[in-house]
Amino acid sequence: MKRAVYPGSFDPVTFGHLDVIRRASEVFDVLIVSVLNNKVKTPLFSVEERVKILKDATKGIPNVEVDSFTGLLINYAAEKNIHVAVRGLRAITDFEYELQIAQTNRKLSGGNLDTIFLTTSLEYAYLSSSSVKEIASFGGDISQCVPEFVAKMIYEKYHIL
Ligand code: PNS
């Protein structure tokens, strides 16, 4: 069984993430999408909310599981006996950051955790969770960025609906 983890903040999940999830689910037998519980960042959605959103958004993909983790990805992956992480690459600007994380994880795990990159589909290359939040906070249209139920939840957070 080929299993992989797709780690991220997913605050909130966007169509770009969902595109990576769908495509990675076709490459691996099981894909675990795991939300980082990052104590340093102040997220818009709690980890529990993000897990619930991801479960709802991926319910049509049977080999996708949703989970959360705290601490180092290499430790979480080792616990789950997973040796591949999946990440999306939007543009060259992502590359340096992603390369550093991937190499750190490979080194720290003693070669036990490799990273596979999927290039984001062009129509989502401009998308980021941060820009979605910024647009929504000013009442802008995010219907092309996130599923409708997620958009509604974001506007509610900003007291816009
Ligand atoms: O969606 P994001 O915020 O770009 O995801 C970043 C993430 C969660 C993949 C990365 O920050 C991570 O794996 N953090 C867990 C802590 C860790 O393992 N750090 C070592 C790599 S430098």
* pLDDT: which is higher, 39 or 156: 156
pTM: 0.97
CA gap 151, 161 in Å, rounded: 10
Per-residue pLDDT, 93: 83
Please say if the pLDDT value at position 161 is more than 90.
no
Question: Tens digit of pLDDT for each residue in 79-116?
Answer: 999 999 999 999 888 999 999 999 999 999 999 999 99
pLDDT digits (tens, 9 = 90+) for 51-60: 999 999 999 9
Atom of ligand 1 lying closest to residue 41 CA: 3
> How long, in residues, is the chain?
161
R_g over Cα of the chain: 15
Q: Which pLDDT value is given to residue 92?
A: 84
Choose among 33, 86, 88: nearest CA to 64.
33
pLDDT of residue 7: 98
Ligand 1: nearest atom to the Cα of 129: 1
pLDDT, mean of residues 66-88: 98
Among this protein's residues, is 17 annotated catalytic?
A: yes
Q: What is the pLDDT of residue 81?
A: 97
Verify whether residue 41 is a known catalytic residue: yes
| Beta bridge partner(s), residue 66 | 33
Encoded tokens for 113: 């955790």
CA of 8 to the centre of ligand 1 (A): 6
The proportion of the chain whose per-residue pLDDT surpasses 90, expressed as a percent, equals 93
Evaluate: CB of 104 within 6 angstroms of ligand 1. Answer: yes
